[in-house]
Amino acid sequence: MSEAAAFSEVKSPLSARIWTHPAVRIVAGSILTIAPLPLTMILASKLVDKPYRVVWPQLLAALICFLVYRFFIRSTEKRELTEFGTQGAGREFAFGLLLGATLVGSVFTLLGLLGVYHVDGVNALSLALLLPLAELVLVGLSEELLFRGIVFRITEQSLGSGWAIVISAILFALGHLPNAGVTVPAIAALAAYSVMQAAIYMRTRRLWLCIANHIAWNYCVGQVFSTAVSGHGPEAGVLRGQLSGSELLTGGAFGVEGSVVTVVVIGMVAAGLLLGARRPS
């Protein structure tokens, strides 16, 4: 046997061990899955004038993110995407939308009872209210692929559910630090939201419900109740509503996701879901 062949036999197992290490897989999978998002948007801005960059760049970026995630899973784990199984997908997606809308409705109902959310009227319904959905689909899909499909799932395989919940919650919250108006309650609410999403994934072992819940939450906060979403906005939505009063209750510039009311509501739901969540043996 030549020295080159002998070196190859020694090198190959080491390379394989490095590539299959959970930390390497998380970093590589995260970069590959998220990279299409800015690349697609930058390319679209260079090739197409702004009036024609409506809806399709976000949906294209979402599709590419999904395809890259699919390629990563198939090439590294040699399996089909069970987290995107089609049987029952419609039911799970619909329930996720309902869950997200119900959570937002509960938060704003409590804020209304506390006197910090006020509705002055209703805006005229139009197709313009649906345009943000493309971006929200992109955000919901990409963040769930990253934080549940990659970070949580791979960490869980290596360290167990408890550490996976903690680590993914910390990273999810830290990922929103650059957003405007972020506060300590906002970080707590984001961490609680991540725990809730992890619990949903643990119960279903699929991402349909997680993604739909994420989309519905963001859409209802911005496009229904007309308030800021994670420091972005506020939007002119269905209701002509506004928040006023203590920042602990309103969330300040970050929006209701920085409200202690949201921390309590999401925290209670997350705790309830975790009680019934069990990892299959």
pLDDT, one tens digit per residue, over 123-165 is 888 888 888 999 999 999 999 999 999 999 999 999 999 999 9
Alpha-carbon span 276 to 199, nearest angstrom = 9
Angle, nearest 10°, between helix axes 260-276 and 184-204? Answer: 20
Q: Is the peptide bond before 185 cis (omega within 30 degrees of 0)?
A: no
φ, ψ (nearest 5 deg) of residue 235: -95, 160
Residue 281 lies inside a defined structural domain of this protein: no
Query: Mean of the pLDDT values across residues 253-280?
Result: 90
Residues 6+ apart with CB under 8 A from 57: 40, 41, 44, 48
Strand partners, 117: 243
Alpha-carbon span 137 to 212, nearest angstrom = 8
| Count: domains in the chain | 1
Spatial contact of 211 and 90, defined as CB atoms under 8 Å apart? no
Please report the pLDDT score of residue 27 as a whole number: 95
Please report the pLDDT score of residue 18 as a whole number: 72
pTM across the whole model: 0.90
Residues 6+ apart with CB under 8 A from 177: 187
Which tokens belong to 9? 């036999």
Residue 58 lies inside a defined structural domain of this protein: yes
What is the DSSP secondary-structure string of 67-120?
A: HHHHHHHHHHH-S--GGG-STTHHHHHHHHHHHHHHHHHHHHHHHHHTT-EEEE
Q: Which tens digits make up the pLDDT trace of 72-97?
A: 999 999 999 999 999 999 999 999 99
Please report the pLDDT score of residue 118 as a whole number: 94
**Ramachandran quadrant class, 180 (left: phi over 0; alpha: psi -120 to 50; beta: rest):** beta
Residue 252 lies inside a defined structural domain of this protein: yes
| Residue 281 three-state SS | coil
Residue 129 lies inside a defined structural domain of this protein: yes
What is the DSSP secondary-structure string of 28-53?
A: HHHHHHHTHHHHHHHHHHHHS-GGG-
φ, ψ (nearest 5 deg) of residue 134: -60, -45
Residue 183 lies inside a defined structural domain of this protein: yes
Residue 54 lies inside a defined structural domain of this protein: yes
Please report the pLDDT score of residue 14 as a whole number: 66
- Give the range of the structural domain holding residue 225, as residue numbers without chain letter: 3-276
